[in-house]
Amino acid sequence: MLPSIPPSRAEEHREHGLADRDLHGGAARGGACKRRMSARPAPPFARLFFALWPDAATRAEWVACQQDWAWPEGAHLTPQDQLHLTLHFLGRVPRDRLPALQQQAQVPFKPFELCLDRAGTWPSGIAWLQPSVLPEPLLALHRELGTLLQGQGFELEDRRYRPHVTLARNARAARAPAAVAIPWRVDGYVLVESHAGTGGGYEVLCRYGETIGA
């Protein structure tokens, strides 16, 4: 059984209350990447992270679990299309580095089963779901992707990996369901850009590994 520890401040900042703008239909083993279609100039920096992205059925189970909590007044629930599990947070990345990152972010991947069977809150007010057992393929993916990113000059947090799904913020007094057990077959991982401001959201830029349902 893994002890529950709160995320760092950077982890708290990385998960924004933004609507998701997903990449529909673009999934493949070698990394399917979305082409930018907007005629508007892109900002010089992109705020990026790698994550595990749930399929529709798994996302629905997360939402059902979220609805089973007793939430205090003022709690900010994560909208269902924003739910994910972070692998590595990159922060602000010069946009001219993005094409190379997209092309080089494929690492050996083996599909695996993950069971989210712990629910609780941290003193920061984040309400979360966590697995009590971390399968080796998840640890290998986190390790190998981290090694690749560090080799490309990205600075990553030097702390033990504690994967979790953020269900809400400002929820210190929330009460979790008595029992939680949500199985999840993970078939790949994604590179996501977080868009700030009005009309912003999470945009899945690339998918890696086996096919993932949107």
The model's pLDDT over 137-153, given as tens digits with 9 standing for 90+, comes to: 999 999 999 999 999 99
Determine the average pLDDT of the residues in 80-89. Answer: 94
Burial status of residue 111 (CB atoms within 10 A of its CB: 0-12, 13-18, 19 or more): exposed
Residue 22 within a domain: no
Q: Is 125 left (phi over 0), alpha (psi -120 to 50) or beta?
A: left
Residue 67 within a domain: yes
Structural contact between residues 130 and 163, judged by C-beta atoms closer than 8 angstroms:
yes
User: pLDDT class for 121, splitting at 50, 70, 90?
Assistant: very high
Distance CA 53, CA 86 (A): 9
What's the pLDDT at 16? 41
CATH of the domain at 114: 3.90.1140.10
Contacts of 114 (CB under 8 A, 6+ apart): 52, 131, 135, 138, 183, 184, 185, 186
Assess whether pLDDT exceeds 50 at residue 2: no
Distance CA 198, CA 205 (A): 20
Which residues are the active-site residues? 84, 164
Residue 35 within a domain: no
Q: What's the angle, vertex CA 84, arms to CA 179 and CA 166, rounded to 5?
A: 55
Share of the chain above pLDDT 70, in %: 78
Residue 62 within a domain: yes
Hey, what are 141's tokens?
Answer: 């993916």
Residue 176 within a domain: yes
Residue from 88, 107, 70, 80 nearest 19 by CA: 80
Distance CA 128, CA 172 (A): 11
Per the structure, the count of domains in the chain is 1
Residue 5 within a domain: no
- Highest mean pLDDT among 3-12, 15-24, 91-100 belongs to 91-100
Pairing of strands 85-94, 76-77: unpaired
For the chain, what's the residue count? 214
What's the pLDDT at 210? 64
Residue 214 within a domain: no
In the chain, how long is the greatest CA-to-CA distance?
A: 50
Distance CA 85, CA 129 (A): 10
Hey, what are 17's tokens?
Answer: 């209350």
Residue 191 within a domain: yes
Which domain range does residue 172 map to?
43-209
